[in-house]
Amino acid sequence: MLHVSHIVAAPKTNHGDSVGFVKSLVTYMVMDNLEVKPMISDNSVIIILLKKFGVKEMCEVEERVVHFGSNEFCQSNRILLLPFVICFGLDELALLCSALSVKEMERPVRKLDPNLVNIGARRLSLSLVGKVLTTRLVNRQAFCDVMNTVWRVSEGVEIEWAEGNIFVLNFKNLEDRARILDGGPWNFDRAVIVFEEPTGVGDILNMGFNRTVFWVQIHNLPLLCMTKEIGIFLGKMIGEVRDIDLETAREGNSRYIRARVAVAANEPLMRCLRVNLLGTGEVTTMFLRYERLLDFCFNCSRLGRSFLERMY
């Protein structure tokens, strides 16, 4: 049966402008196979269509006024062609497009040539993916210019914007890549940059950006604790220990231990350690100082948000 549907016009705003993609009343024909075609008022065209569908009696033609939404279109996987866009938002359009990919999924799958895979894997091994932990959207060009100036790697680095505050760093050699990865934490506009080492196909959607590395100073230590072994023990209370430094404090006539640790970027940072040193019940509180930490909320102890941003 042939259904004639009238698609209502887009709603008006307070200023009299239409919102969405349809500007006026449009009439379409929806066949039983859900194929949609524009309804043309030319009588000759209508006659041709009636003959095409074998309509002998006008009583066989039914007219309906319907309101189409994304759910109605996505319920059927038989949609072949949609030559128009109704008043949808971007999310609804994305949902609609996913419903139109049934035939695409039936196409044959081809295997990528191993030589091409190796070329891509070599490039991936020289890459890092960085995310600026801030609620603000950073200036892309400023990020590329500033970080190129700050890093000054021997053979240069190509910085490509991926999405949001995420950038892809392509190095020329492993030494430059390692220097940037081990030299952190790096900051841009007072916000910490968290790096991921891409693996597999390098899908950015599967990267958590949930770990970052800091040099942490452990202060208020008694003499008993000024050993590398105890430094490792204390560092493990903070995160995954990468290195222990006792010399820097000694050179500055100070008494603290520096521990390089990987911490969870999406959890509150620890601000002190409480340790029962001799098993007597007396607790020693050791204070932590994170080096090169600029953007930090002292209220919630989380990265990526300053105290002022939390207030507003």
Separation of alpha carbons 65 and 98, rounded Å: 26
Q: Which of 83-97, 186-200, 238-252, 297-311 has the lowest mean pLDDT?
A: 83-97
What CATH architecture does domain 114-206 belong to? 2-Layer Sandwich (3.30)
For the chain, domain boundaries: 3-105, 114-206, 211-311
pLDDT of residue 53: 67
The residue among 287 and 102 whose pLDDT is bigger is: 287
pLDDT of residue 130: 94
pLDDT of residue 52: 65
Mean pLDDT throughout 27-52? 60
pLDDT of residue 78: 41
pLDDT of residue 103: 65
Single-letter amino acid code for the residue at 164:
G
Q: Which of 12-16, 111-115, 130-134, 206-210 has the lowest mean pLDDT?
A: 12-16
